[in-house]
Amino acid sequence: MLSKFIKPGDRVELQTMDQINEYKEDDKKIYYSKINEIISDNQVEINMPLEKTRLLLLSVGEEYNFVIFTDTGLFQCFTIVEERYKTNNLFLLRLKLTSNLRKYQRREYYRFGCAMEMQSRIISEAELRSINADDQDKLKKDLPLKSSVIVDISGGGIRFVSEEAYPAESKIYINYDLIMKGERKNYELIGKILSASEMDNRPGTYEHRVKYINIDSDTREEIIKYIFEEERKIRQKERSIKEEQS
């Protein structure tokens, strides 16, 4: 029940999906409002956002990232504007939730579940020093790589499973491809192993959490854009299936 987590009067922020995909923190547009009523488990009513004293007529059918400020912390989901209307001199929007509500930290990177092949190996301190000095040519390309599977990805790092157990705190070379707009692009990154543990249901297979340590802002934005595009495709497919079944 939504009412267990949020209530009328809670402050909210809406941000368009296109602006999220741009992921430029300094110039993104955020609309501020508050919850007027919880209509159902997947519908809320909010006051129409204002800019100074001007009503902002958000388009029906537009999709937004929706962040709610509650007494117990921040929550996030995705929503679509279903209707605009006026009731008792209040200008209101009805929003439909298109994803589950989840706890949210302002600067965390959204993690996208996947099953994606990657190649990796331990990287030496000498190589790492070369890369930190912007001498990418000293990264050795001819050393053997281990195959792994990425199980979730974000702008800050990855989680992957492998038959190779990498020590915590070690640095690894990561190589994987992303397909965006029908084109395949290769990414070569360096990551730090935050944790590694053997999986309970798969002896001999190890789950690793990795933080990127040499990623530039343009590459990070590309990865985040890929994640939101894939998430959008999934939600659109789910809505199409529901419409066909109804």
Is there a contact between 223 and 178 (Cβ–Cβ < 8 Å)? yes
pLDDT tens-digit profile of 19-66?
Answer: 444 434 444 578 889 999 999 999 999 999 987 788 988 999 999 989
Judged against a pLDDT cut of 60, whether residue 206 lies above it is answered with yes
Which residue in 234, 228, 233, 237 sits closest to 16, CA to CA? 228
Is there a contact between 49 and 31 (Cβ–Cβ < 8 Å)? yes
Highest-confidence segment of 2-16, 67-81, 125-139, 146-160: 146-160
Q: Do domains 2-104 and 112-235 have the same CATH topology?
A: no
Question: Looking at residue 187, what is its pLDDT?
Answer: 95
pLDDT tens-digit profile of 74-105?
Answer: 888 899 999 999 999 899 999 999 888 888 76
Question: Looking at residue 25, what is its pLDDT?
Answer: 41
CA pair distance 94, 46, nearest whole angstrom: 7
Which residue in 228, 235, 234, 233 sits closest to 23, CA to CA? 228
Question: Looking at residue 103, what is its pLDDT?
Answer: 82
Question: Looking at residue 136, what is its pLDDT?
Answer: 56
Question: Looking at residue 24, what is its pLDDT?
Answer: 41
Tokens 């659109």 sit on residue: 236
pLDDT tens-digit profile of 62-77?
Answer: 999 898 988 888 888 8
The better pLDDT of the pair 2, 85 is held by 85
Model pTM? 0.61
- Averaged pLDDT for residues 127-146: 73
Residue 201 — pLDDT band, cuts 50, 70, 90? confident
Q: Which CATH architecture has domain 112-235?
A: Beta Barrel (2.40)
Which residue in 64, 56, 55, 67 sits closest to 12, CA to CA? 67
Show me where the domains of the chain are located: 2-104, 112-235
Q: Which CATH architecture has domain 2-104?
A: Roll (2.30)
